[in-house]
Amino acid sequence: MDQLENSNITEHKTETKPLIRPYKGNGKNVILGITGTSGALYAIRTLRALIMNNFNVALIITEYGHYTLTKECGMELTQGNIQSFFPELIINQCSVSFHSNLDLKSGIFSNDYNAHGVVVVPCAMDYISQIANGECNNLIVKCADYALSYSKPLIVVPRETPVNKIHLGNLIKIMDAGGRVVPAMPSFDSNPKDFNDLADVIAGKVIDLLMSGRE
């Protein structure tokens, strides 16, 4: 426990980990939404996993998502500095593009863009509610709605606790509509060395679901 308590989560390891099974992304497009609930490290490690597996990532970060990334991880991600945080982008044949959560006419909805799936991590409960009820007032929810409409993989990673019946009801709605839920509940049977390992457990499960039975 002392080792976990003394971990510095701002030091982001980039070597391949067995906690994340390797896949051939082959340039598939994945939409990744990051909301402002606590747990920004889960988003960082999921983004890293997608890059390491050669997915092209359309990245949507909410206003409070940017705040949480800065507060919890010391990272202010922009199109101009993304390679400094993820040098794998220089080597791997993939890309990360930034999109405004307010842009409901984003190019990722053009006929030329084919999204393999949508991931929202961490997913705040207000976004869970919006997705469950198809509100589509912002780009993240619109992308989630698109995934459900076209039977694409949709994976949400709620982190907030405790949960109430409203939260659970909304999660069930998403599952009933075809989405998958990966609560941010990392296991310890892999003997994690630091917080990055714990986050990689969740990132690995997200990638597994993203690729399961999908071509």
* 14 band by pLDDT with thresholds 50, 70 and 90: very low
Q: For 99-139, write each residue's pLDDT tens digit.
A: 999 999 999 987 789 999 999 999 999 999 999 999 999 99
Using 50, 70 and 90 to split pLDDT, how confident is the model at 11?
A: low
In Å, what is the CA distance from 166 to each residue of 48, 125, 170? 32, 10, 6
* pTM: predicted TM-score of the whole model, two decimal places: 0.90
Q: Which residue has 């780009």 as its token pair?
A: 139
Q: Which domains does the chain have, with CATH numbers?
A: 27-211 (3.40.50.1950)
* Token pair listed for 40: 């920004």
Which pLDDT score is estimated for 57? 98
Higher pLDDT, 22 or 9: 22
HEC states along the chain? CHHHHCCCCCCCCCCCCCCCCCCCCCCCEEEEEECCCCCHHHHHHHHHHHHHCCCEEEEEECHHHHHHHHHHHCCCCCCCCHHHHCCHHHHCCCCEEEECCCCCCCHHHCCCCCEEEEEECCCCHHHHHHHHCCCCCCHHHHHHHHHHHCCCCEEECCCCCCCCHHHHHHHHHHHHCCCEECCCCCCCCCCCCCHHHHHHHHHHHHHHHHHCCCC
pLDDT classification of 167: cutoffs 50, 70, 90: very high
| Span of 18-22, 149-153, 205-209 with lowest mean pLDDT | 18-22
Q: Does residue 146 contact residue 184 with C-beta atoms inside 8 Å? A: no
Tokens of 59: 């990245």
**Structure tokens belonging to residue 98:** 């930034």
Distance CA 117, CA 134 (A): 17
Picking from 48, 98, 39, 46, the residue whose alpha carbon sits closest to that of residue 69 is: 39
189 pLDDT above the threshold of 50: yes
pLDDT tens for residues 15-49? 444 688 899 889 999 999 999 999 999 999 999 99
Which comes out higher in pLDDT, residue 14 or 92? 92
Per-residue pLDDT tens for 54-93? 999 999 999 999 999 999 999 999 999 999 999 989 888 8
Q: Which residue has the higher pLDDT, 11 or 157?
A: 157
Average pLDDT over residues 152-170: 97
